[in-house]
Amino acid sequence: MNQISALVTKVTPERHSAIYWFLSDSWVLTRRSIKHITRNLDQLLSLILMPIMFLILFRYVFGGAIDTGGTTYPNFLLAGVLVESLAFGSSNTTVNIVLDLKRGIVDRFRSLPMNSSALLSSHVMADLFRNTISSLIMLAAGFVVGFRPTADPLEWVMVFGLLLLFTFAMSWFCAILGLLVKSVEAAQWISFLFIMPLTFASSAFVPTDDMPTALRIFADNQPFTHVIEAMRAWLVGTPIGNAGWLSVVWCVAITLVSMPAAAWLFRRQTQISPV
Pairwise pLDDT comparison (89 vs 253), residue with the higher score: 253
Query: pLDDT exceeding 70 applies to what percent of the chain?
Result: 79
Checking if the pLDDT of 75 tops 80, the result is yes
Domain extents for the chain? Answer: 24-270
Checking if the pLDDT of 105 tops 60, the result is yes
Checking if the pLDDT of 18 tops 90, the result is no
- Summarised one tens digit per residue, pLDDT across range 184-197 is 788 878 888 888 88
Q: Which pTM does this prediction carry?
A: 0.84
Distance CA 24, CA 18 (A): 10
Confidence tier at 256 by pLDDT (50, 70, 90): very high
Checking if the pLDDT of 10 tops 70, the result is no
| The pLDDT of residue 93 | 84
